[in-house]
Amino acid sequence: MKKKRSIAILTGGGDCPGTNAVIRAVAKKAIIELGIEVIGIEDGFEGLISRKWRKLHYEDVSGILTVGGTILGTSNKCDPYRYAGENDKTLKFRDVSRMVISNLKKLGVECLVCIGGDGTLTIASKFHKDGVPIVAVPKTIDNDLRGTDVTFGFDTAVSIAAEAIDRVHTTAQSHHRVMIVEVMGRTAGWIALYSGVAAGGDIILIPEIPYHIESVIGKVKGRNRMGKRFSIIVVSEGAKPKGGSVVVRQIVKDSPEQVRLGGISFILGHKIEQETGIETRQVVLGHLQRGGTPTPTDRVLATRLGTKAVEMIEKGQFGYMAGVKGDHIVAVGLEEAAKGPRNVPLGHPLIISARSVGTCFGD
């Protein structure tokens, strides 16, 4: 009797709106059109080390299109090629990738679908080079993956951030304050740029354009002289002053990405209030940007990317990621996604448009 075909799927890295929509699209297309069994790996690559997985039935993925997070769980600390563990109370790293490959062989799946950002897809690229058939789907609210014009989760994060900026706008205006809204993005300014422009931020600070504090203070004072007794500043967590450094909130020693950014808004706010005498307050959106229901745009994109991933499996296009190029979903080599973050180009049309309406970028 012929063995039933099967594939495995995992979600790695930070949670992201639209992840469940991708899981749904992959599983439904595989089950309905191809009769393929789908195995859900729990908690990212951690599940392939500790052998935590389960079969996903049609009922398991029905009704999850609008649900935030991931039904499979995730981990942003687990790298099988540099797996953290304690030995004599000392943190040690070891390579357990062969164990993962062995467990996948025992599962008997013909492909592993990896949904993740640059960290997850870098690991996926290594596994492909080690002989594991991989197909990937780009996932990050930061929108900083190479090889794709946009990632699912970004539109939701921008929508949440823009709504938050809209809400602090009225408080800033009522109390004649400077309000600073700090958003995520790591070393890329996509969320700050798009949400800042959408919500009419007076000053937008992104990692790609190191700022001069004098320029920021000058903008605030200039608005005050014009009778605008408040200012809205949108700052990316990875923004830094010219010649200065990013603000590090935390070092996580057992994580592949040890540096956690955050806190730039408080340093910036203290300086502005000190120099201008204008009351300044900070709002750090943090994980609010990651949670909750995905926008319709992200649901649609996630569905297109998920079904494309299954098409790629059928064509044997392993070692590729489903990416967005214009209006098309295309196959992109995993090595492209693993090259590092995709930053905002200095000549990006949105930066040019923002400058045209008087937005200050601190330069």
Q: Which residues are catalytic?
A: 142
Both tokens assigned to 353: 């448009």
Q: Do the beta carbons of residue 87 and residue 109 sit within 8 Å?
A: no
Q: What is d(CA 298, CA 305) in angstroms, rounded to the nearest whole number?
A: 10
Per DSSP, what are the bridge partners of residue 241? Answer: 211
Q: What is d(CA 324, CA 326) in angstroms, rounded to the nearest whole number?
A: 6
Q: Would you call 261 helix, strand, or coil by DSSP?
A: strand
Q: What is d(CA 143, CA 190) in angstroms, rounded to the nearest whole number?
A: 7
Q: Which of 363, 362, 17 is nearest to 201 (CA)?
A: 362
Per DSSP, what are the bridge partners of residue 280? Answer: 178
Q: Which helix (H) or strand (E) holds 354?
A: helix 349-356
Per DSSP, what are the bridge partners of residue 27? Answer: none
| Strands of the sheet with 280-284, listed across from one edge | 203-205, 231-236, 178-183, 280-284
Q: What count of other Cβ atoms lies within 10 Å of the Cβ of residue 95?
A: 11
Q: Would you call 204 helix, strand, or coil by DSSP?
A: strand
Report phi then psi at 47, rounded to 5: -65, -30
Q: Would you call 206 helix, strand, or coil by DSSP?
A: coil
